[in-house]
Structure 1
Amino acid sequence: MSLLLVCLVAVLSLLFCGRAFAGCSYGGGQSFTLTLPTTVSVPRDAPVGSLLTTWVASPASSNLWTCSSSGGLLGAGVQVGPIVGASTGQTYNSGGTFTVYKTNLPGVGIVLAGRSYTPNAGWYGWFSVYGGMAYSGVYATWAMGAQVQVALIKTGTISAGGTVSGGVVAQAFPNSDGPRYDLIASYVITPVNVVPLTCTTPDVSIPMGTFKTTDFPSVGSLSPNPAGFAIQLLNCPGGTAVSGTQAGQIHSIQYRIDPTSGTLATNVAALTGSPSASGVGIELFNSSGAVFPLSTNTTLSGYNSASGGSYSIPMTTRYYRTGTITAGPANSTMTLTVSYQ
């Protein structure tokens, strides 16, 4: 019995002598505002993963909390965690890998990075804000701090635009002898209006005229009178590019024309509707008279990304004989797709 008592006393003594108690405090609640741009203009087809704002950081505050140890070497640290929507499952890589979180606006996410300060370790490098923590061994009294930076990022289609709500996106607090949730520093973003950049593209109706079968003596013959028309890209917005992001302006515009019913031959659109003529299709030509390639992206020449403006793309179209012709209506529909980057 006495041997057991001696062992028990020894264990209790070891626990007591090795204990280092700590306390942390600061002068009232603290909140830091990270001011994002009021409005962000984004090309509708900017690549997913593109930054929509530059990184905006809170002050590098190294003395948010004052902590003290009653004796011995104490492990203490700063914990930084997100107060945002769920993860998108995406990450952003820039000097580290950072989790991307959802915002209230479809297609727009927020990426957060945090770092912490302890006296022995100094500033601990940027880490993904998911509850990360940096520790340092300290004696006596010391100061600790934190810093958070955020950016908006494209996570999917931004169709109609809207406003990313402002509010708290991250919190930091000291962790010494346990997390101190009563000593939270909050990080707040300002609201951001996100505007997708597009041009107006009116529908075009093209009268082709009436032709005889004798106007097409052989396969490959074209109708004698080309019909002229123009693709209009109106009120294209201009702007100033935001360095390091896809925001601020449309950088380039591409367009393509796809026949609704496919093709009968290379770059010859099939007719649509019933009843319909047969043995002919429709071919498009650019302003130089060259055959216009269907279902192929073409870059809009002369587009000024700084000033924007309205643009007209002159074209002509003719019937093209593909085989034995039978009379009837000869209509076709095609879809214009405009891509903005």
Structure 2
Amino acid sequence: MLLFLWWPASADAQPKCELTTTAFKYMYQPSYLLAPRDLPIGGALSAWSAPPTGDHVYRCTGTGAFGLAMKVTGLSTAGMQTTGSAGGMVTVFNTSLPGVGVAFEGRIEAGSCRLTNVDLGGPGASSGSAIPKWTATDGQWLECTSAVQATEANPVFLRASAWMRYIKTGPTSAGLATFDQPLIELRHSINGVMTRANWGYTAWPLNVQGPPTCTTQDLTVAMGTHKSSAFTGIGTTSAPAKMFTVSVACPPDMRGNIAGVGASLVKIGYRFSAPAGLAVPAQGVIVLSSGSTATGIGLQLKDAAAVPLQFETLYPLTGYDYKNGTNFAIVLQAAYYQTSATVGPGTANAVVTFTLNYQ
């Protein structure tokens, strides 16, 4: 007589993972932002968003090595990196709107293994007993090195979260950036075998307003003729000072994104630069342009209250009327300023650059 004995395997012995949260989550992001005209390529168009409320969570039981992978889908890389929220460098991806890129960071947990502030466009560091992997197929993949016995009473949890930031990648114009679903694909693995993607993150469309259109005109200020004998020592100036006005016209409905949380009234500012350099910075005195023949003097600029201008300092234009637009008048005064013990006669020309800033 043959006797066959068979014991059914414990349910916990067969590894499995089940999603315990919503399959798709929307990442927090601005739905409307401003592309400042003077923002350099690589500059941030928004702040890093906050992670969505609650992680994506898988609950795993059975005996096995459990892992989790995150991958950006539907976007090509922009060929640049930006500074991540923790100071590391992360990959920038192109969106559907030229000149507007997006960077992602993520957090992946597989049991006791963790990847934090990880670049979703390339390899990252890990903590705990883990094997971080990076492939074009799977993206950023984290799997613990050894199998564990996970029971119903003591399961292994796989957790993920992601956040994003918009970056200027080139000349921008107004338009709408849209995203695929999922924008970030998440898949779990058991004993090194990756499952199909069935959960992830997506993002709402982004409405980008093109560069603001405040306008100003080039301005020439005639300083007149002054005798060198009128300067009696270093720090003395020509008199009277020449008053002039820089006019700035700003249209209505200029809005921007503040701190990455939504549309707000744009903040307008301006700064002055001296292409030839500064002679006496604290007194707002700039170096004369090349080609000038006068010696021992520079050009001093002050505001309407006779306070010397601080070059490369951002001054606010306050009182912008969002509904009707605003015309601003920046009143300044200019005078020649003695910088050396001796003043020599000649031509005395200077150039100042006026730049508007939008936030």
TM-score clears 0.5 = yes
- Tell me how far 1:55 sits from its aligned partner: 3.3
Q: Hey, what's the Cα distance between the residues in 2 that align with 1:57 and 1:79?
A: 18
In the other structure, the counterpart of 1:295 is 311
Give matches, 1:218-237, under 5 Å: 218-219=232-233, 220-235=235-250
- Tell me how far 1:136 sits from its aligned partner: 6.8
Per-residue deviation, residues 218-268 of structure 1 (Å, max 9, x unmatched): 3455333432222344327654865x5376447765543233323455533
Instruction: Determine if the alignment matches structure 1 residue 100 to structure 2 residue 100.
Output: no
Instruction: Determine if the alignment matches structure 1 residue 138 to structure 2 residue 150.
Output: yes
Bigger drift between 244-253 and 226-235 goes to 244-253
Provide closer, same or farther for how the CA distance between residues 197 and 177 of structure 1 changes in structure 2, counting only shifts above 3 A.
Answer: same
Q: Hey, what's the Cα distance between the residues in 2 that align with 1:299 and 1:284?
A: 14
Q: Hey, what's the Cα distance between the residues in 1 that align with 2:336 and 2:321?
A: 36
In the other structure, the counterpart of 2:277 is 262
1:230 counterpart SS class: strand
- Tell me how far 1:333 sits from its aligned partner: 0.8
2:305 counterpart SS class: coil
- Tell me how far 1:212 sits from its aligned partner: 4.6
Amino acid at match of 2:335: R
Provide closer, same or farther for how the CA distance between residues 279 and 113 of structure 1 changes in structure 2, counting only shifts above 3 A.
Answer: closer
- Tell me how far 1:208 sits from its aligned partner: 1.9
Provide closer, same or farther for how the CA distance between residues 223 and 199 of structure 1 changes in structure 2, counting only shifts above 3 A.
Answer: farther
- Whether the aligned pair in 2 keeps the contact of 1:92 and 1:111 (CA below 8 Å) is no
**How many corresponding residue pairs?**
305
In the other structure, the counterpart of 1:91 is 84
Amino acid at match of 1:282: L
Instruction: Determine if the alignment matches structure 1 residue 172 to structure 2 residue 191.
Output: no
In the other structure, the counterpart of 2:33 is 40
- Tell me how far 1:170 sits from its aligned partner: 2.2
Provide closer, same or farther for how the CA distance between residues 259 and 171 of structure 1 changes in structure 2, counting only shifts above 3 A.
Answer: closer
- Tell me how far 1:309 sits from its aligned partner: 4.0
1:272 counterpart SS class: coil
Gaps of 5+ in 1: 1-15
In the other structure, the counterpart of 1:284 is 301
Provide closer, same or farther for how the CA distance between residues 145 and 321 of structure 1 changes in structure 2, counting only shifts above 3 A.
Answer: closer
- Tell me how far 1:131 sits from its aligned partner: 1.8
Q: Hey, what's the Cα distance between the residues in 2 that align with 1:223 and 1:113?
A: 61
Per-residue deviation, residues 73-128 of structure 1 (Å, max 9, x unmatched): 413535131225488374324xxx9973312166744224356799xx9xx99874
2:196 counterpart SS class: helix
Aligned mate of 2:196, from 179, 182, 189: 182
Instruction: Determine if the alignment matches structure 1 residue 192 to structure 2 residue 185.
Output: no
Per-residue deviation, residues 30-81 of structure 1 (Å, max 9, x unmatched): 7666585442236666996785363363886657x9x88xxxx413535131
Q: Hey, what's the Cα distance between the residues in 2 that align with 1:203 and 1:83?
A: 45
Amino acid at match of 2:94: N
Q: Hey, what's the Cα distance between the residues in 2 that align with 1:332 and 1:221?
A: 18
- Whether the aligned pair in 2 keeps the contact of 1:112 and 1:149 (CA below 8 Å) is yes
Q: Hey, what's the Cα distance between the residues in 1 that align with 2:322 and 2:255?
A: 5
1:103 counterpart SS class: strand
- Tell me how far 1:286 sits from its aligned partner: 1.3
Aligned mate of 1:314, from 317, 331, 334: 331
Percent identity over the alignment is 13
Provide closer, same or farther for how the CA distance between residues 89 and 76 of structure 1 changes in structure 2, counting only shifts above 3 A.
Answer: same
Of structures 1 and 2, the larger Rg is shown by: 1
Which protein has the bigger strand share?
Answer: 1
Provide closer, same or farther for how the CA distance between residues 309 and 82 of structure 1 changes in structure 2, counting only shifts above 3 A.
Answer: farther
Q: Hey, what's the Cα distance between the residues in 2 that align with 1:143 and 1:287?
A: 69
- Whether the aligned pair in 2 keeps the contact of 1:92 and 1:99 (CA below 8 Å) is no
